[in-house]
Structure 1
Amino acid sequence: MLHEVDAALRTLVSTRALAGGDVRLVFDAPTREWAAQRNIPTVNAYLYDVREDMARRERGPARVHGKDGRVTAYRQPPRFYRLSYLFTAWTKQPEDEHRLLSAVLGCLLRHETLPADTLPAGGMLASAGLSVPITAAVPPPDPRSIADIWSALGGELKPSLDVVVVAPFLVSPEYPAGPPVTEVEVRVRDSVYAVTEVRREPLT
C-alpha cells in the first residue's frame, strides 16, 4: 500500500504541479549527504511517519457486493493508516524553492482525495473502492516537531509541507458468502405437533 501511495503522489505532483519543468520528484531521506550530491532541481517527498488512524477502525465483518448488488463475500474491515510526508524543494536559490513549494501546495489543495486516475491500476487502493483523503500543511493532531525530524536526519531546517495521506489497508482474505435464499420451507403441524405437510414457497 505504501508504494501505491508513492506512485499516486508521483503521478499527481509530477503531472499537475511540475509538468513542463526539469524538476525531479524523489522519495529519498533528505540527509546532509543526500543534499550534497543533489545537482538538479528536486522536490523531495520523504515518508517519515506511518501510524494507524484508530478513529477509523471498525469491528465485525464487512460485506462485499457483486455487480448485481448481492452479497458475494465477507471480509474484515480495512485498517486505515496515516502516511506523513515531508515535502521540500531543492534548488540553488531559495526563491526557486519557494516557487516549487507553492506549485506543489496549490496542486494538493485542489484535491481533498487522491484522484482515482492516479491510483495504480489493479492495486489495493483501486480495488478497495474507498476514497484516499489527503491534506497539506495542516497542523498535526499530536505534538511533533519538524525540527526534530531534521535533527534526526542530520540536515539543516528548510521550508517544508507536511502532507498526510489516509490510506486503507486490506488485512484479510475474503470469505465467500453462501447462496442467496430464494425460498422458504413451511411446515404445518396438527394438534399433537406431528408434521402433516411440508411445502416450499418462493421468498418474496
Structure 2
Amino acid sequence: MFNDADETLKQYLTAAIPIANGEVDISFERPSREWSGRLSRPTLNCFLYDIRERSGFRDDTATRIADGKGGFRAQRPPRRIDLSYMVTAWAREAEDEHRILARTLAAMYRAGEIDRRFFQGHLLESEYPVLARIVPPDHVAKPADLWGVLDNELRTSLVWVLTVPLDAFTPVEGPLVTTRELHVGAIGEDWRETFIQVAGTAHRRGAPGETVPGVRVSVAGTALRMVTGPDGRFNFPGVPPGDHTIRFETEDGVSGERAISVPGSSYDIEL
C-alpha cells in the first residue's frame, strides 16, 4: 500500500509541478551521502521518514452487507495512516534547487486532497481520499539530527504528509440475525419483560438469491407494518412470542401470507 502512495505522489508531482520528460528525476531513496554522490541529474527526493496512525480518523464501526444468500459480510473501515515525506531538491546549482523547491511547494499548496486520477495500485480500489498537508520540518524530528543520521550535509527541505487508507482487517462473514431478544428487569428480581425483534427477507420464488424491494409487509392483528428496503429486508420490533401471520403485498398487487412462530429460525417470505 505504501509503495502505491509513493507512485501516486510521483504521478501528482510530475503533472502538477510540472516535470517534462527527463527534466527532473523523482526518487524515494534515503538521501544519504552515498546516494547523493551518485546523482548525475537534477532530482527531487521524497524520503518517507515517519509512519503513524492518524488516530483522530479512527472508526471501528463495521459495515454489514447482505450477500443475498441469507448471510452477511461485515467489514471494519481501514486505518488512516500519516506518511511523512521529507522533500529535497538536488542539482549542481543552488538556483536550480530553489526553482524546483518553489514549484514543488506551489504544487503542495494546491493539493489538500490528491485527485483520484493520480491514484495507483490498491488506492484505486479504495473509497477513501488521500489527504495532503504541509507541516513544519521539525514536527517529528529535528532536521539537523535527521541529516546527521543520514551522514549528509544539512539541506533545505519541505515536509509533506499524506493520509492514506490501510486495509488492516479481514472481512467477517456469517448468517444474518433474524431474531433479537432484549430482557429488561430490576436487579435482584426474577421478573423480566421481554422485547423480541424479528427480521426477514422477501425473495423471488424459485430464485432465493433475488430479493424484492418495495413489498408491504405486516403482522396480522398488530400495528406492525413496513415496506422492504432495497435489499428486500424487513424487521419488526416488539413482536410478542407465539404464533403469528405475516401478510405481504407487492407493488403490482400480488399478495399472500405466511405463518410464523416467534422466536423462530427464519421469517423470510417467497413471492
**What range describes the TM-score normalised by the shorter chain of this pair?**
0.7 to 0.9
Percent of aligned pairs sharing the same letter: 29
Q: Give a deviation string over 1:114-167, Cα, whole Å, max 9, x none.
A: 1101001xx33222211111113x226955312221111111110011010010
Give 1:25's aligned residue.
26
Specify which structure has the bigger relative contact order, considering alpha-carbon pairs within 8 angstroms and separated by 6 or more residues.
Answer: 1
In structure 2, C-alpha distance between the alignment counterparts of 1:24 and 1:97, rounded to whole Å = 13
Identify the structure with the greater strand proportion. 2
* Moved beyond 4 Å, runs of 4+: 63-66, 140-143, 175-180
CA pair 155-194 structure 1, distance change in 2 beyond 3 A: closer
SS of the residue aligned with 2:201? coil
The answer to whether the 8 A contact 1:132-1:168 is kept is: yes
Aligned pairs for 1:27-176 within 5 A: 27-63=28-64, 73-120=73-120, 123-136=121-134, 138-139=135-136, 142=139, 144-175=141-172
Q: TM-score, normalised by structure 2?
A: 0.62
Note the residue ranges of structure 1 that are not aligned, 5 or more in a row: 67-71
TM-score normalized with structure 1 length: 0.81
Higher mean displacement: 171-180 or 15-24: 171-180
Q: Deviations over 1:52-108 (max 9, x none)?
A: 111111123135699xxxxx7430111011000011010011111010001111112
Report the aligned-residue RMSD. Answer: 3.0
Return closer, same or farther for 1:141/1:95 CA change in 2, 3 Å cut-off: closer
Check whether the contact 1:89–1:97 (CA below 8 A) recurs between aligned residues: yes
**Count of aligned residue pairs for this structure pair:** 192
177, 185, 200: which one pairs with 2:247?
200
Take 2:75 and 2:109, find their aligned partners in 1: how far apart are those partners?
A: 34
Match of 1:181 among 195, 198, 201: 201
Q: What is the deviation of 1:42? A: 0.7
Partner of 1:69: none
Higher helix share: 1
